[in-house]
Amino acid sequence: METTFAPSTPSVDLVKKYNVPVPRYTSYPTVPFWGNELPKEADWQRVLLNTFEATNQQEGISLYVHLPFCESLCTYCGCNKRITKNHGVEPIYLKAVLQEWDKYKALLPEKPVIREIHLGGGTPTFFSPENLRYLINGLLAGAEVHPHHEFSFEGHPNNTTYEHLQALYEVGFRRVSYGVQDLSEKVQRAINRLQPLENLVRATEDARRIGYTSVNYDLIYGLPFQTTQSIEDTFRQVITLKPDRIAYYSYAHVPWKEKSQRAYSEADLPTDAYKLSLYQLGQQMLLEAGYQDVGMDHFAFPEEELCVAQRQARLHRNFMGYTTTQSQLMIGLGVSAISDLYRGYIQNVKTVEEYYALLAMGEWPLLKGTLLSETDVCMRRHILDIACQGRTGWSQSPELSLLQEKVWPALEELAADGLIDLQSESLQLTAVGHRFLRSVCAAFDLYLVGAQKEPSAKPMFSKAV
């Protein structure tokens, strides 16, 4: 069953009510609710091995590699990064990543089958083509590659060269995601990310010339000094280039966490209502250009694999965002990387120095994590179904009792506001509800509900709109 949504304009009252801090749900429970403890080594390894043994031969496993280095600081960025122009850090860091991967391979009972690799950052194309090829060859040594593998990386249009694209293509990469954000020079100056349009054109054409089958652009609305005119200009130019996928994210303004975001004032940011109008303008232009609205802030052409996966009810979401494969085990490598063990999560330490030191001592470079209860697994299923398919259902009596006790009042309120069509054993997003998808997911977030009863000085998440 396919779920599609026509653009819908929510009322001012709905925007005011639901534009509150909520997670993006790349995990459940979300990271702030894990606490600061690390599960016992025997426990998280048992969970990892159980998931590996259940999925390795059929689905394969995913690898996420965090490459944190950037030459300059983009002030809007909330990622874990290290700013440096010293490229001598490259071989040292990659050697440590492969050392960490060796620890996992020694733990696994059989040769891992690699279904996905994603290089994120930071700026993965900070690293030279030769060093990226060295990294991938090291990851694949002693492993098998799944026949339907998907390898992807994040590239900066300014420094992604033909040689970068060629080197990664030769080791199996077919998807590239370029951080575009906005094409207005005034906005780019405000966020310290000057990148001329010609660099984006070159990087896109190079990828297609080499043979990449999917080019994605990341765009952001709600940045300082954005206007309807600047958004219209950006999307007109972007649509001309016809990227296969577009992620159109809400800017997460969290200056209490990211000091760089204090480079501009609140007065430079659009109001909530104006910010929503920026999204709706971009959305309308994309739909008119033939893109389809997919999940949470994503767009793709109907024949693109993201849309195909949604139609076939196999779209998935994890720390890499939306993915078309169903691998239940994702191992995160590198500083701050998170591993999704299906019934648990573990996260690496957040500084390069700690990461190196722990590996040098033969230790796992882990910071914290959590193991999931049966209730967590149940709620995560509903959140993923809503985020990926726009609907969810329940029929088992124990689950129904839990939902009636913990979730039902919130669902009834969402239904009364016209965000969902609520039935006795299912719900479906409405066109208006699709715009508040994160808020609908939040109805199943028992941790967030509990936290909302205890006022905090600072919100843990960015706003929904």
Q: From the annotation, which residues make up the binding site for [4Fe-4S] cluster?
A: 70, 74, 77
Helices of type H across 141-227: 162-170, 185-190, 197-210
Asked if 3 and 390 touch (Cβ cutoff 8 Å), the reply is yes
Q: What are the distances in angstroms from CA 106 to CA 49, 82, 112, 145, 368?
A: 12, 29, 11, 18, 21
- Report how far residue 53's alpha carbon sits from residue 70's, in angstroms, rounded to the nearest whole number: 37
State which H helix or E strand residue 58 sits in.
none
Q: What are the distances in angstroms from CA 414 to CA 260, 297, 430?
A: 36, 20, 10
Q: How many CB atoms lie within 10 A of CB 130?
A: 12
Q: What angle do CA 151, 68, 21 make, to 5 degrees?
A: 90
> Which of 119, 72, 115 minimizes the C-alpha distance to 97?
119
State whether residue 166 is helix, strand or coil.
helix
Task: Please provide residue 218's backbone torsions phi and psi, each rounded to the nearest 5 degrees.
Answer: -100, 125
Exposure class string for 112-127: b at 16+ Cβ within 10 A, else e: bbbbbbbbbbbbbbbb
> Which of 70, 91, 92, 94 minimizes the C-alpha distance to 80?
70
- Report how far residue 60's alpha carbon sits from residue 64's, in angstroms, rounded to the nearest whole number: 14
- Report how far residue 460's alpha carbon sits from residue 31's, in angstroms, rounded to the nearest whole number: 10
Binding residues for S-adenosyl-L-methionine: 64, 76-78, 121-123, 154, 181, 193, 218, 252, 338
For residue 87, give the DSSP letter. Answer: T
Binding residues: 64, 70, 74, 76-78, 121-123, 154, 181, 193, 218, 252, 338
Contacts with 324 (C-beta within 8 Å, 6 or more apart), sequence order: 150, 305, 306, 308, 309, 314, 315, 316
Asked if 219 and 279 touch (Cβ cutoff 8 Å), the reply is no
